[in-house]
Chain A
Amino acid sequence: MTAPLDVDSSATTATPEAVLRGQKAKSIEGRSLGQIAWMRLKRDKVALGGFVVIVVLILMAVLAPVLVKLFGHPPDEFHQDLIDPTFQVPKGKFGGISSSYLLGIEPGNGRDVFSRIVYGARISLLVAFLATFVSVGIGTVLGVTAGFFGGWIDGLISRVMDILLAFPLLLFAIGLGAVLQSGNGLLGLSGTSLSVAVLVFIIGFFNWPYIGRIVRGQTLSLREKEFVDAARSLGATNAHILFKQLLPNLVAPVLVYSTLIIPSNILFEAALSFLGVGVRPPTPSWGSMLSDAVATYSIDPTFMVVPGTALFITVLAFNLLGDGLRDALDPKAGR
């Protein structure tokens, strides 16, 4: 029965360390990159503010039917009795804002602006998130592939990226959007879901080269790092190096870039809707509301200010969060 003794003896030698650990565990425990970033982010009040606004917006979009039931009217319901027939603007002051129409009513047809803003948030956020997902997905995969394998693969992918970056995106999107949307339905989609799918495709597919280039550049520098050499000399497969060694190191730049392209995607969707190739009516969208407001901006400025403000707040919130994330995730950042 020697074994227990051995254990005992080793246990005794370990005691002081254990005690020590018990006392100051918190200060010594190693923190992951994520934890450090979260701590830094928590200290950044501005970024946190942006985060809170985004959460509220997402809740608003998800709970749109409930909110509209409580505080508004169905978004497509006309209220022409509230419109001045001669001037075609809401009868009350400030675009017809009242206790039952919190953000006023739309000139010409009297739809509830509050309801349309709330439902419009759904389209804006859905399109922006899905499009970002698409471009980040394609961009990361192709960027890593190009950077890691190099050679003709890199050449091919890089040229494709150059070609896509040289596309006059807005013009192309207007044309493509118009063609796809006038169709009889596509891949079993029709109506609003078709509009959303088309927008996601256009915005997502043509924006991936931006993130692709960033990922490719990062991969190029990472693959020369010592830990990759080490893994390779130990016989690691390409797949292992790609997924276990490189990808985790790419999470930070990809995440930061994602939060920064979401707002630009929101604006792009608004621009397309403004130009008449976004979601099809009567589905509300902030961009098409702005477009409708142009005709009456000087006699009913409220109708332009409201969707404009919604767009402004949303884009600002995403940008602030993105900036905060970048600072928090960058080990070299000053803070």
Chain B
Amino acid sequence: MSRSHLLRAGTVVAALALGAAACGGGSSGSKAPKTTGVAAAYNAAVNGVVNASSKKGGTLNYVAASDFDSLDPARTYYAYSWNFQRIYQRTLMMFQTKPGAEGAQVTSDLATAPGVVTNSGKTVTYKLRDGITFEDGTAITSADIKYALERSFAEDVINGGPGATYLKPVLVGGTAYKGPYKDKAGLASIKTPDTKTISFDLVKPFSDFDYLMALPISTPVPQKKDTGARYQFHPVASGPYKIDTYQPNKLLKLVRNDKWNAASDPNRKALPDQIILTEGLQSDDMDARLLNGSADLEIEGTGVQPTAVSKILTNPELKKAADDPSTGFTRYISIQEKVAPFDNIHCRKAVQYAADKVALQFARGGPIAGGDFAGQMMPPTLPAYKQFDAYPSGPDHKGDLTKAKDELKLCGKPSGFTTKIATTNKGKGPKVAVALQQGLARVGIKADIIQVDSSTYYSGFIGVPDNVHKRGLGLAVAGWGPDFPTEYGFFESIVDGRAIKQQGNSNYSEFNDPTVNSLIDQAQATSDVAKRNDLWNQIDHKVMDGADYLPFVADKALDYRAPRLSNVYITGAFGMYDYVNIGIA
């Protein structure tokens, strides 16, 4: 999956967490010491604020290769779109506007504080701030947020977003509710006792609920301005900016929203006077604009192209304005345990040892543009991350062929076997497949490459277990990043055996270990952070023990920030620059 593309949803909540009150988020924006700025240097924005400033004015010029999937807050699923919407839309909760790991924690936005959990975890209540308004000056009420959340349930009109997936199994009556267009009565489990209070009745305690409310789905939508599927062409702003012009795939221009009340918004600085996003550009063209100063940022956050990588890394001045952050994605090969001979764990282990990780890393673009070697599924951006290498592939990372052959013998296939590698037909997928193929060939594992168009690869090809079995797709090239930056948001869809689906499955290998399933439940029910992290570490190890997953790279991207920008930093929530507070120095 391409990084600019969806943060693969998955049905995270399909079989839901029993966890109690453990709120993963920091409670407010005020507990951390005031971040001081750092000077511009290579990787300076990964953990610090470059050019900290409160100077207002000017025009930011952003560029993007393609258009957003949607500007409708309930329909968008691209990571960079979620990040970008925070500039002009407010949500109940939001990711903190802070660099690094702190940016992956939630704080209150429209709400005065994180959700108050009562009724033994089954009721969450938020109070709204004073002075919050839409761009036309009308006050935002709890009914606007209730209505916005209800829209997500109308999957026939409001499709594409994460709302239905996450909310349906969590809210009481969610699975039967059809959305506000068909069911005027609304969803009874979202209560608005007064205009300043909103509360939710949950089926079970859900510790990541504040994270759910930090997704764009909780952006208020005024019912009388809602045009259904066409709302995406002019969504009503609630933050410091509003949409002035939107020409899909060409241009998006944001100007100041004079109705926004700065006193009601402690998170946003609102520095530039306007923000112009030019869309539909070629990647190399965007890089050229970036390096010559006519563009400030590439908002898709996928990193620059090889040409620009070489220019940036060979020029100290340019390098000072570049960062190489972890994006939170793990690139891996999924080994399908229902496809022979991978029903035998030793055959899976043979693949783990035989793979040439250098070749795989190079296929992703090398250590800078591709990422670091990975020996585990959990990405280094998550709090519980503790590095280990489950199947060491030799000192040079080119594979441990002796161990691979031993495993082949144990599997009863000493001279190897034949299998298939599924991949997309564009981008880096085929290169990864070829790199895997040549690595496995060294121990006699002969793999044929099956290419499928990128648009159907995940949802309709390897995401359909029947198809995987029928075609004998023993190996599949894949990538995974969390929908929201918690261990649960990362692991649930891919390792919880109870969440395997017959369509749109994300657990391609059909990994289903009862121990892991119960550990996930335990982790969600543990409120002590250290204990919970320890449980997630155990899960990380158990998953690797099953040998269904062959992670090879913890994704990185080389990003470039224009030197004139102020308040630039990478947010841990998205692994890209935080667009909320960038200004012009």
Interface residue from B307, B310, B435, B472 paired with A109 (Cβ < 8 Å): B435
Give Cα A296 to B431, complex, Å.
14
CB-CB under 8 A for A88 and B449, given A178-B425, A182-B461, A184-B470: no
Interface residue from A88, A184, A276, A299 paired with B472 (Cβ < 8 Å): A184
Tell me whether A281 and B358 are in contact (CB under 8 A): no
CB-CB under 8 A for A78 and B438, given A88-B306, A299-B310: yes
* Nearest-CB residue, chain A, relative to B314: A87
Q: How many interface contacts (CB-CB < 8 Å) are there between A and B?
A: 90
**Which chain A positions have C-beta within 8 A of B365?**
88, 108
Cβ contacts B20-44/A at 8 Å (1 or 0 each):
0000000000000000000000000
Query: In whole Å, how far is B565's beta carbon from the nearest beta carbon of chain A?
Result: 25
**Which chain B positions have C-beta within 8 A of A281?**
430, 433-434, 437, 449, 451
Tell me whether B362 and A182 are in contact (CB under 8 A): no
CB-CB under 8 A for A295 and B359, given A85-B367, A109-B434, A281-B434: no
Give Cα A181 to B449, complex, Å.
10
Question: For chain B, what secondary structure do more than half of its interface residues adopt (helix, strand, loop), or is it mixed?
Answer: helix
Tell me whether A191 and B448 are in contact (CB under 8 A): yes
Tell me whether B448 and A87 are in contact (CB under 8 A): no
Give Cα A280 to B433, complex, Å.
11
**Which chain A positions have C-beta within 8 A of B310?**
87, 89, 299
* Nearest-CB residue, chain B, relative to A282: B434
Task: Say whether A2 faces chain B, with CB atoms less than 8 Å apart.
Answer: no
Task: Say whether B394 faces chain A, with CB atoms less than 8 Å apart.
Answer: no
Tell me whether B306 and A299 are in contact (CB under 8 A): yes
Task: Say whether A277 faces chain B, with CB atoms less than 8 Å apart.
Answer: yes
Q: In chain B, residues 297-324, which have Cβ atoms closer than 8 Å to a Cβ of chain A?
A: 305-307, 309-310, 313
Tell me whether B356 and A181 are in contact (CB under 8 A): no
Task: Say whether A80 faces chain B, with CB atoms less than 8 Å apart.
Answer: yes
Total number of A residues with any Cβ neighbor in B under 8 Å? 31
Task: Say whether A54 faces chain B, with CB atoms less than 8 Å apart.
Answer: no
Give Cα A163 to B310, complex, Å.
50
Tell me whether B366 and A88 are in contact (CB under 8 A): yes
Query: A87, A89, A190: which has the most chain B beta carbons within 10 Å?
Result: A87
**Which chain B positions have C-beta within 8 A of A134?**
none
Tell me whether A87 and B313 are in contact (CB under 8 A): yes
Total number of B residues with any Cβ neighbor in A under 8 Å? 36
Interface residue from B309, B433, B470 paired with A87 (Cβ < 8 Å): B309
**Which chain B positions have C-beta within 8 A of A182?**
450-452, 461
Tell me whether A109 and B451 are in contact (CB under 8 A): no
* Nearest-CB residue, chain A, relative to B365: A88
Q: In chain A, residues 256-293, which have Cβ atoms closer than 8 Å to a Cβ of chain B?
A: 276-277, 280-282, 292
Give Cα A277 to B452, complex, Å.
9
Cβ contacts A64-83/B at 8 Å (1 or 0 each):
00000000000011101001
* Nearest-CB residue, chain A, relative to B433: A281
Task: Say whether A32 faces chain B, with CB atoms less than 8 Å apart.
Answer: no
Task: Say whether B183 faces chain A, with CB atoms less than 8 Å apart.
Answer: no
* Nearest-CB residue, chain B, relative to A184: B471
Task: Say whether B16 faces chain A, with CB atoms less than 8 Å apart.
Answer: no
**Which chain B positions have C-beta within 8 A of A183?**
471
Query: In whole Å, how far is B188's beta carbon from the nearest beta carbon of chain A?
Result: 46
**Which chain A positions have C-beta within 8 A of B448?**
190-191, 280
CB-CB under 8 A for A80 and B451, given A178-B425, A184-B470, A281-B430: no
Tell me whether A83 and B362 are in contact (CB under 8 A): yes
Interface residue from B307, B430, B453 paired with A298 (Cβ < 8 Å): B307
Task: Say whether A27 faces chain B, with CB atoms less than 8 Å apart.
Answer: no
CB-CB under 8 A for A87 and B306, given A108-B431, A109-B431, A184-B471: yes
Cβ contacts A94-107/B at 8 Å (1 or 0 each):
00000000000001
Task: Say whether A86 faces chain B, with CB atoms less than 8 Å apart.
Answer: yes
Tell me whether A277 and B425 are in contact (CB under 8 A): yes
Interface residue from A76, A87, A191, A297 paired with B438 (Cβ < 8 Å): A76
Query: In whole Å, how far is A299's beta carbon from the nearest beta carbon of chain B?
Result: 5
* Nearest-CB residue, chain B, relative to A178: B453
**Which chain B positions have C-beta within 8 A of A181?**
450-451
Q: Name 21 A/B residue pairs within 8 A (Cβ), A-sorted.
A: A76-B434, A80-B358, A86-B368, A87-B309, A87-B313, A87-B366, A88-B306, A107-B306, A108-B366, A109-B362, A109-B435, A178-B453, A181-B451, A182-B450, A276-B426, A277-B451, A280-B449, A281-B430, A281-B437, A292-B431, A295-B305
Beyond A78-B356, A85-B362, A86-B366, 19 additional contacts (C-beta under 8 Å) are: A76-B434, A80-B358, A86-B368, A87-B306, A87-B310, A88-B362, A108-B363, A109-B359, A181-B451, A182-B450, A183-B471, A184-B470, A276-B451, A280-B448, A282-B434, A282-B437, A282-B438, A296-B307, A298-B307
Nearest 5 pairs of A and B residues by beta carbon: A276-B425, A298-B307, A182-B452, A88-B366, A282-B434
